[in-house]
Structure 1
Amino acid sequence: MNAMLKRPMKTLMAVGVSLGLAVGFSATVSASDWKPTKAVEYIAPANPGGGWDTLVRTTANVIRAEGLSDQNFAAINVPGGGGAIAWAQIARDSKNDHKLFATSPPIILVPLSGTSRFNHKDFTPIARLITDYSIVLVRADSPYQTVNDLFNAIKNNSRLSVGGGSAAGSMDHISIAGAASVAGLKASDVNYIAFSGGGEAMTNLLGGHVEAVITGAGESLGQLEGNQLRALAVSSPERIQGALSSVPTYQEQGIDYTFDIWRGVMGPKDMSPAAVTYYQDLFAKMMETDSWTEATTRLGWLDAYQNSEEFGAFLDEQLEQFSAVLGELGLLRQ
């Protein structure tokens, strides 16, 4: 479990190398004059306010503000099924060079859990863009001062619950179950309660219906500002600078575990090679702008660029890793 879920520092360092190589590669192959000839449908497979929606709107705004494309990237929300509703619609639109969608670990996890018949191989990887991390939150008056306090309590009382805004077997569940496993519990010992979104999970935490919540670090900033919650651990390899710099990592607390919430962009299957080159080059240029730097600093995101080929290989690796975790949880359906 440990070896499968850890994201060592050398991997993150390699991202910087990948960016340099990818930009060079794009400059070489972008001799094609292909450009979008109409507005690009840019889909967030969820309601407004979550991680996918934030990625879509942030990148679209930066592209527009920096004048990187003559066409508008139109944000469209298609919620339902943890992404499955949007994926089904996009899968029917093969070869469409004017459609993109935001993606993250659920593109692997949801199909493995059996709640979508479409997986990452049914789409075209464009680029991985950023990495966020998971964070464990408790109420400010909680007796748990460290994440080990929480795990020890769970070990002694299986009824204690941890809430999250993704489905059972999806991103939040996998993150907390993996950490618990490395800490010496069974992944299945975590009584995970799935809510319809992060907002509902927070409401239940504040209402005392769950002991803790697992969510994205970038999405937790607003919740922590009110001083009603306290963060116990973040899944990054080092402390996150800025507003979350006081939150210890799992590793600082003796749990040799990290977990990336990567986010990127994909398109329909069988997009033209020229369109793929255009988009991966566009996102690489976007990430070099001041507007992007300002946005990622505000959101606590870390650049983690991979071009289309690299991103596709990364997704295949994620499939292997998450299959093992879901198998341990008894949630693997393939």
Structure 2
Amino acid sequence: MMMKFSKVLLILGLVASLVACSSTTSTDNYPNKTIEVVAAGSPGGGLDTIARVVDEALKKADLQDQPFTIKNLGGGGGNEARAYIEKQDDNPYSLLTESNRVFVNEIVGTTDLGIEEVTPIARMMTEYLVWVVKEDSAYTDAKQILDDLKEDPSAVQFGVGTIPSNDQMNILRPAMEYGVDPTKIPVVAFKSGGDLMTQLLGGHIQVISTGLSEAIQHVEAGNARILAISSPEQLNGELADIPTWKSMGIDVSILHWRGIFGPPNMPEEAVKYWDEKLGELVKTDTWKELLEKHGWFDAYADSATFKEELEEEKEIMANLLESIGLAE
């Protein structure tokens, strides 16, 4: 009887060992299997594209240790994707691509999940936001608009793709810094970047705030002009003449970034792996060529820097959205 009991204990011990070895939390020889990357958006969108570009870049640079499978979960403004990642807990084989919605959605009350329910891994790139007017607009620089707003905050109507958004922040933040009451500025949301540009070129809206990539083709065609860009420093080449907010003495810069996150309890060893791997990737010619191909700009931040800057961004966004009545 005693021998039978001992055998049972031995078997139970072996089973427990096997379970422990197969646990998703194990980072021995990480990564040693396929990595699932959840894009918090639809196929072809920005969050899907960054997931696929990172995958492509790792392969081309011969830095990919395990293949990616990309899963699109764009429902609920990305909330479905964040709920999925939160349930992964400490699984280092599930990653998420997301934008600043990772904290904005919690602020406006569409989800209880915020930056505490993800592990920041890397900010990979950014686009910049611009103020755009029609080619024949009477406005020739952004300060003329700000001066009119200072005199009457409802004097100029702006268009954006969605509210709340970085496009909207690119209107309200510089205006606030300039001494304008942001609660009185008329900002109209349209369905998409394309619809937004149609409204501008049709003369239905005076100024739009949108991504540089949405505007540049219309500028090159001679239909529109860019008055300001949200980059922290002056850009080079054909974009060198576009004033930044900082060059106008307005202490504002806004990154329209895309980043990679892990589940809330992602093991430190896995985070360290991605710090090293992605830190190496962004230095390669392959990555730089892909940035240029997609009209993106380098804004890489490792896990620690990304986490710190996310917290700073969240505070700024929360204060501003609260001041205009959009925070829960």
Question: Does the TM-score normalized on the shorter chain lie above 0.5?
Answer: yes
Q: Shift of residue 115 of structure 1?
A: 1.7
Choose 287-296 or 223-232, whichever is displaced more: 223-232
Residues 271, 119 of structure 1: alpha-carbon distance in 2 compared, 3 angstrom cutoff: same
Is the aligned partner of 1:133 residue 2:138?
A: no
Aligned to 2:241, which of 239, 246, 250?
246
Is the aligned partner of 1:164 residue 2:157?
A: no
Residues 280, 45 of structure 1: alpha-carbon distance in 2 compared, 3 angstrom cutoff: same
Residues 287, 320 of structure 1: alpha-carbon distance in 2 compared, 3 angstrom cutoff: same
Q: Is the 8 A contact 1:133 1:236 kept in 2?
A: yes
Paired residue for 1:57? 52
Q: Shift of residue 213 of structure 1?
A: 1.8
Which structure would you say has the larger Rg? 2
Is the aligned partner of 1:306 residue 2:301?
A: yes
Taking the TM superposition and a 5 Å limit, the aligned residue runs for 1:82-101 are: 82-101=77-96
Taking the TM superposition and a 5 Å limit, the aligned residue runs for 1:187-206 are: 187-206=182-201
**Distance in structure 2 (CA, Å) of the matches to 1:73 and 1:138:** 41
Residues 316, 252 of structure 1: alpha-carbon distance in 2 compared, 3 angstrom cutoff: closer
**Distance in structure 1 (CA, Å) of the matches to 2:255 and 2:103:** 14
**Distance in structure 1 (CA, Å) of the matches to 2:71 and 2:134:** 34
Residues 54, 247 of structure 1: alpha-carbon distance in 2 compared, 3 angstrom cutoff: farther
Taking the TM superposition and a 5 Å limit, the aligned residue runs for 1:159-238 are: 160-166=156-162, 168-238=163-233
Q: Is the 8 A contact 2:166 2:254 kept in 1?
A: no
Q: Shift of residue 37 of structure 1?
A: 0.3
Paired residue for 1:66? 61
Is the aligned partner of 1:282 residue 2:300?
A: no
> Secondary structure at 1:143's aligned position in 2?
coil
Spell out, residue by residue over 1:304-330, the C-alpha distance to the aligned partner (whole angstroms, 9 max, x if none): 333223322222222222222122222
Aligned to 2:327, which of 302, 319, 332?
332
Q: Is the 8 A contact 1:56 1:75 kept in 2?
A: yes
**Distance in structure 1 (CA, Å) of the matches to 2:39 and 2:217:** 21
Choose 320-329 or 47-56, whichever is displaced more: 47-56
Q: Shift of residue 332 of structure 1?
A: 1.7
Is the aligned partner of 1:143 residue 2:143?
A: no
> Secondary structure at 1:138's aligned position in 2?
strand
Is the aligned partner of 1:267 residue 2:262?
A: yes
Q: Shift of residue 291 of structure 1?
A: 0.8
Higher relative contact order structure (alpha carbons within 8 Å, sequence separation ≥ 6): 1
Runs of 4 or more, structure 1, over 6 Å off, are none
> Secondary structure at 1:92's aligned position in 2?
helix
**Distance in structure 1 (CA, Å) of the matches to 2:110 and 2:317:** 15
Residues 92, 222 of structure 1: alpha-carbon distance in 2 compared, 3 angstrom cutoff: farther
For 2:304, give the aligned amino acid.
E
Spell out, residue by residue over 1:46-80, the C-alpha distance to the aligned partner (whole angstroms, 9 max, x if none): 23454433322322211121121143323443224
For 2:161, give the aligned amino acid.
G
Unaligned runs of 5+ in 1: 1-30
For 1:114, give the aligned amino acid.
G
Q: Is the 8 A contact 2:127 2:212 kept in 1?
A: yes
- CA RMSD between the two structures: 2.5
Is the aligned partner of 1:78 residue 2:57?
A: no
Q: Shift of residue 178 of structure 1?
A: 0.4
Identity of aligned residues (%): 33
Q: Is the 8 A contact 2:121 2:302 kept in 1?
A: yes
Q: Shift of residue 153 of structure 1?
A: 4.3
Residues 312, 252 of structure 1: alpha-carbon distance in 2 compared, 3 angstrom cutoff: closer
**Distance in structure 2 (CA, Å) of the matches to 1:109 and 1:164:** 16
**Distance in structure 2 (CA, Å) of the matches to 1:299 and 1:243:** 16
Q: Is the 8 A contact 2:153 2:181 kept in 1?
A: no
Choose 76-85 or 290-299, whichever is displaced more: 76-85
> Secondary structure at 2:313's aligned position in 1?
helix
Q: Is the 8 A contact 2:153 2:182 kept in 1?
A: no
TM-score calculated relative to the size of structure 2: 0.82
